[in-house]
Structure 1
Amino acid sequence: MLSCSESDGTEERRLGDPVVLVLSAGFIVLFVIASFINMEGVAGIIGSGFAWTARVLGSYFQLLLLFTFFIAMGLAISPASSARIGDLDTPEISTFKWLSMIMATLLAGGGVFFAAGEPVYHFVVSPPAFDTAAGTAEAVSGALAQSFMHWGFLAWAVLGTLSSVVLAHAHYDKGQPLQPRTLLYPVMGERIMKGWFGGVVDACCVIAVVAGTVGPIGFLATQVSYGLHVLFGLPDGFSTQIGILFFLACIYVTSAITGVHKGIQILSRFNVFLALGIAAAIFIFGPTLFLTNALTQGLGEYISSFFAMATMTAETAPAWWMQWWTVFFFAWFIGYGPLMAIFVARISRGRTIREMFVAVAVMAPIATTVWFTLLGGSGIYYQLIGVIDLTEALNNFQFHVATLTVAQALPGGTFMALAILVLTTIFVATTGDSMSYAISVVGAGHDQPNKFVRAFWGIAMALMAGLLLFMGAGQISALQQFIVITAIPVSLVLLPSLWTGPKAVYAMAKEQGVTFVKRRMIDDNFPSPQGEDTLEIENRT
């Protein structure tokens, strides 16, 4: 078994599985070439597949997320979850650094991009789960609750709970590679670990992540370019966007090359400190009372309407709404699932399973709801009192306009807008570096992939974003839609973790001496108070 500190030089020099490299890199090349040849044709094919997937498989994606969350929470409260990842007595990474990487990496790029616009959109266009009049005070709680549903407990759980524990047990305890195919090992055995089929499985997961990461990278370029134009009068065009992409790529490629303990960790910590500073400024100097009430009411509505929102289908809601909101986001998160699971398993060595589950599926979603309330809630407040009007921009899905408009309305105006642009940039960079690292891990099969491979994937995603921006923002959108299609095979990779996850938890508990022993009262004359067997838990760690 090879750990992060035990990889030898030969293993580190591997450039990765050739099947994974050829298929995933080949996808990038083919997508770009096809877009150059027939841009509208490519967008049309993807759009049709996107609509079909959302209509036919939307409920399946929703159920996968629901079962993942509730099974993970059930395991988190079980004694077996006191077993430790990697069988280390102490965590490899300090608590603050570990939480920073989780918060800043998983849903960071997309979450920051949508935090201002999505709550306001649901405020001006009431979600189908609520019958409140759009644009009124009564619509505030429902708007926030719908945003919490998309970026809350279900979304985070599928990224780093059951699948992470399966991978951690397989890699650190059984010596299996850190690859998506390992999630299928409990079901398919050695067949999946060798040969071309395992490479195809890994490549599907890599392609899904490339599609999901290039989108935020490209959208960031348009957002920052627009922001610099509004704030400082710089030209808002392709040349500015390319300059932003180059700067962004330099940041996250350097971070990915230096690894988990250096660049990725430092970038994540900086991000968290900056986010905390901005959040404090918004709360203290912004509409404090409104935000406090909105968070309370929004969380209450989120909990009370949880199942209504999570199980809504195209039969009970407009098909276009489900396609572009709930199903789109849930499929996006599923597409990220295997590689995010690899990243979470890698940074969680020495943590208990309970710590990992609670941090990913409870603490991180709560932090997300607070952030969405501060930025999106402020947008709702200013929209409600007439300071801004984002109705037209959001109906055209111009979320980069929404972010800057809300930021400028906040106390501090230009300074706050600039700070949020910097924050958004660094958050997308943390997604870029962690995914460049995770994709490289998939190819290598261990957690010390070749540095040139990390750089290759980081540069490749930036180049792809630049080429698509050259063709028009519509191709970035088409690539984003493509992740919904890739979620089909990726969901099948995640599906077995619904039952292999609990098995991995109890196997780790048993191997580490956390055992469950049934015993009867020695004397039948003194039965247990319930008249049944009692359960004794012996912790022999």
Structure 2
Amino acid sequence: MSSTKTNTNTYIDNSIDNNSDTPEASLPAGQHRLGDPVVLTLSIGFIVLFVGLSLYDINGVADAIGAGFAWTAKALGAYFQLLLLLTFLVAIGLTCTPMAGARIGNTFTPELSTFKWVSIIMCTLLAGGGVFFAAGEPIYHFVTTPPSFDTEAGTVDAIAPALAQSFMHWGFLAWAVLGSLTSIVLAHAHYDKGQPLQPRTLLYPLFGERIMSGMFGGVVDALCVIAVVAGTVGPIGFLATQVSFGLHELLGVVNNYTTQLIILVCLGAIYVTSAITGIDKGIQLLSRLNVFLALGIAAVIFLFGPTLFLVNAFTQGFGEYLTNFFTMSTMTAQSAPDWWMQWWTVFFFAWFIGYGPLMAIFVARISRGRTIRQMILTVAVLAPIATTIWFTLLGGSGIFFQFTGVIDLSEALTNFQFDVATLTVAQALPGGTFMALAILVLTTIFVATTGDSMSYAIAVVGAGHDRPSSLIRAFWGITMSLMAAILLYMGAGQISALQQFIVLTAIPVSLVLLPSLWTGPQAAIAMARNQGLVSRDLRPIAVQPASSTPPAQPGSTPSQEQ
């Protein structure tokens, strides 16, 4: 019984790969170059409309987005929080079942080595925000006590809560929504059923073939693309301002729009080239470089910085995070000031929701050959723990310098000047100017890694297959850099307005992610049954020890799975 099903899945899987190598031949009419015309029209239309309205009335656009941002955060903030919490809990629960042993793509041979795979996941999902906020956010929560705690700001007792609150925003919940349950749904639909890697495919279990063609599916894809564009252009623009400011402080380079534009051109050239060369070359190379540089910086901070303080701070902060996990993750505007929830928890969670579908596409694409358990534990557990360590090294060092009087960032952080915080902490670290320059380079590569990965993912959405043409990848990469340049020319406030807009896009995108709470486990069950891991009543089936290739099936050979 299972033999026939496995053979069918093998055929579908190989046919997908063959189509991927010659994408133009497999596309419907009208989608040969830039992809789905509905997705393209709506996505580009939004960009043109946003820029055009901003040129016409900057303040009006900012005010309208600000009002929508405030309403969304207040009315739907609790819903966003529950969505992330439930996603994490269901995903972790799934890893404890036999279904988690099912392999993505029906092959025992991963496409990427474990180091490369983890590197790409870490660098793409953490992005530049992991550096931009890693230094400043813990210090902010140290000098301004978070609502979940009643410790006195700026004291020894405030250290652990400050780190714990930062861990909440960048920890288990954030990572889980970026590629756990949703990646399972996409992997099953793509590799087992031959459906394209598109956001609309997340709704395939509910609507079937109706969602895969026509206007509705195109609108779903376009909304998810718009959310990612809004979320990616922000870091690209902020990187230009941060690097320009850093070069001015460190090397005396003039901090103006011309410098920012040069930085954008260089950044765009890096990630567009990386996106064009694909996952196997450019994206992989940038990710590996990123990881090695981050490990080098982390080693210097740990070995030559306030080592004992950092060890104690992480231990207490992580313990505080686990102890108050549910209190912090379910805290709403009923028990915290509206402005605090809007600009911290809800903003971050909505940002991650906006990235959710396209990140899931990317994770599903690079995780072929991995088990569901490996994917979930890497994305939702290992990566968050690594993130908390990184936040402790940068942010914990910042807290130490703030507490001992080496630096004073109270005023800067009250005004949300996180670029100042990052540079100030970096200069106080061992190595001073060298460390500051290294962190600026690291931030640049982080943003470039996100830019190339998202250019690739957006191109996949438009093309409908996982080998989009170089033209599509370059088009989206250049478009995001150009949009950042235009918004910076109008003023940094428009970059902030665009980032606030991602909270609005999180409303429809969250509805795309919501069904994965039950369709994710359903997809895992189907995969496990097809691979002969569980019976119809979900009882585990004894299997032979895993080898480098799946068991041979009638009409297939091990080489077919490569």
TM-score tier (shorter): over 0.9
Corresponding residue for 1:473? 492
Instruction: Indicate the residue corresponding to 1:371 in structure 2.
Output: 390
- Tell me the equivalent position of 2:8: none
Q: Does 1:349 align with 2:358?
A: no
Consecutive unaligned residues in structure 1, runs of 5 or more: 520-534
State the match for 1:434 in structure 2: 453
Q: CA RMSD in A?
A: 1.2
More displaced 10-residue stretch of structure 1: 47-56 or 185-194: 185-194
| Residue equivalent to 2:89 | 70
Q: 1:5, CA displacement in angstroms?
A: 5.0
AA matched with 2:362: F
| Residue 500 of structure 1, aligned match among 498, 511, 519 | 519
Aligned sequence identity (%): 74
- 2:160 aligned partner: 141
Please report how far the alpha carbon of residue 516 of structure 1 lies from its aligned counterpart in structure 2 after TM superposition: 3.5
CA distance in 2, matches of 1:516, 1:61: 36
Please state how far the C-alpha of 1:539 moved relative to its aligned partner. 2.7
Counterpart of 1:307 in structure 2 is 326
The Cα shift of 1:107 comes to 2.0
- What TM-score results when the alignment is normalised by the length of structure 2? 0.92
Distance in 2 (CA, whole Å) between partners of 1:236 and 1:23 is 36
Distance in 1 separating the partners of 2:34 and 2:423 = 41
Q: 1:359 aligns with which of 366, 370, 378?
A: 378
How far did residue 518 of structure 1 move?
Answer: 6.4
- Looking at structure 2, the residues matched to 328 and 5 of structure 1 have their Cα atoms a distance apart, in angstroms, of 41
Report if the CA contact (8 A) 1:518-1:536 is conserved.
no
Q: What's 2:543 paired with?
A: 539
SS of aligned partner of 1:443: helix
Match of 2:58 in 1: 39
> How far apart are 1:148 and its partner, in Å?
0.3
* Structure 2 Cα separation of the partners of residues 89 and 131 of structure 1: 51
Q: 1:83 aligns with which of 95, 102, 109?
A: 102
Q: In the aligned structure 2, how far is the partner of 1:169 from the partner of 1:90?
A: 17
Q: What's 1:524 paired with?
A: none
- Does the CA contact (< 8 Å) of 2:19 and 2:26 recur in 1? no
Change (3 A) 1:56 1:239: same
- Among candidates 6, 10, 23, match of residue 25 of structure 2: 10
Cross-structure match for 1:528: none
CA distance in 2, matches of 1:355, 1:5: 26
Q: Distance in 2 between matches of 1:25 and 1:15?
A: 12
Q: Contact between 1:517 and 1:537, CA under 8 Å: does it hold in 2?
A: no
| Kept after mapping to 2: 8 A contact 1:80/1:514 | yes
The one of 444, 453, 460 aligned to 2:463: 444
Which letter maps to 1:436?
Answer: S
The aligned counterpart of 1:96 is 115
Q: For 2:542, what is the secondary structure of its paired residue?
A: strand
Aligned partner of 1:293 in structure 2 is: 312
Q: 1:147 to 1:4 in 2, by over 3 A?
A: farther
One-letter code aligned to 2:107: L
1 CA distance for matches of 2:347 and 2:541?
Answer: 43
Structure-2 separation of matches of 1:350 and 1:3: 15
- 1-side partners of 2:109 and 2:535: how far apart? 23
Distance 1:142 1:312 in 2: 15
- Contact 2:98–2:534 at 8 Å: present in 1 too? no
Q: Does residue 30 of structure 1 match 2:49? A: yes
- Opposite residue 434 of structure 1, the aligned amino acid is S
Equivalent residue letter for 2:286: L
What pairs up with 1:117-516 in 2 under 5 angstroms? 117-516=136-535
SS in 1 for 2:108: coil
In 2, Cα distance between equivalents of 1:195 and 1:440: 19
Count of matched residue pairs: 526
Contact 2:33/2:471, CA 8 A, preserved across alignment? no
- SS for the counterpart of 2:507 is helix
Q: For 2:367, give the aligned amino acid.
A: S
Q: Partners in 1 of 2:386 and 2:314 — Cα distance?
A: 11
Q: Which one is further off, 200-209 or 74-83?
A: 74-83
1:537 deviates by 3.4
Distance across 2 between alignment mates of 1:246 and 1:149: 35
- Partner letter of residue 25 of structure 2? T
Q: What CA deviation, in whole Å up to 9, does each residue of 1:413-457 have, x standing for no partner? A: 000000000000000000000000000000011100011110010
Shift of 1:112: 1.4
Kindly state the Cα deviation for residue 81 of structure 1 after the two structures are TM-superposed.
0.8
Instruction: Please state whether the residue corresponding to 2:105 is helix, strand or coil.
Output: helix
Instruction: Answer yes or no: is the 8 Å Cα contact 1:393–1:401 preserved in 2.
Output: yes
Q: Distance in 2 between matches of 1:4 and 1:284?
A: 46
Q: One-letter code of the match for 1:512?
A: Q
Asked if the contact 2:529/2:536 (under 8 Å) is kept, the reply is no
Name the structure 1 match of 2:557: none
* Residue aligned with 2:534, SS: strand
Q: 1:452 to 1:298 in 2, by over 3 A?
A: same
Q: Does the aligned pair in 2 maintain the 1:55–1:314 contact within 8 Å?
A: yes
Determine the C-alpha separation between the residues in 1 that align with 2:345 and 2:392.
19
Q: State the distance in 2 between where 1:286 and 1:502 align.
A: 45
Letter in 2 for 1:3: I
Q: Which runs of 5+ in 2 are unaligned?
A: 1-11, 545-550, 552-562
Query: Structure 1's 189 and 41: CA in aligned 2 closer, same or farther, altered over 3 A?
Result: same
Shift in Å at residue 111 of structure 1? 1.3
Stretches of 4+ aligned residues off by more than 4 angstroms: none
The one-character-per-residue Cα deviations of 1:325-370 (angstroms, maximum 9, x if unpaired) are 0000000000000000000000000000100000000000000000
Q: In the superposition, relative to structure 1, how do residues 494 and 536 fare at CA in structure 2: closer, same or farther (>3 Å)?
A: closer
CA offset digits 1:223-282 (Å, max 9, x no partner) = 000000000001111110000000000000000000010000000000000000000000
Residue pair 2:181, 2:520 contacting (<8 A) in 1 also? yes
Q: Deviation per CA, 1:47-80: give whole Å up to 9, x if none.
A: 0000000000000000000110010001112111
Superimposed CA distance per residue, residues 268-318 of structure 1 (whole angstroms, 9 cap, x where no aligned partner) = 000000000000000000000000000000100000010110000001000
Contact kept, 8 Å, 1:4 with 1:446, in 2: the verdict is no
Deviation at 1:515, TM superposition (A): 1.4
| One-letter code aligned to 2:392 | T
Cα deviation code 1:95-114 (max 9, x no counterpart): 00000000100122211111
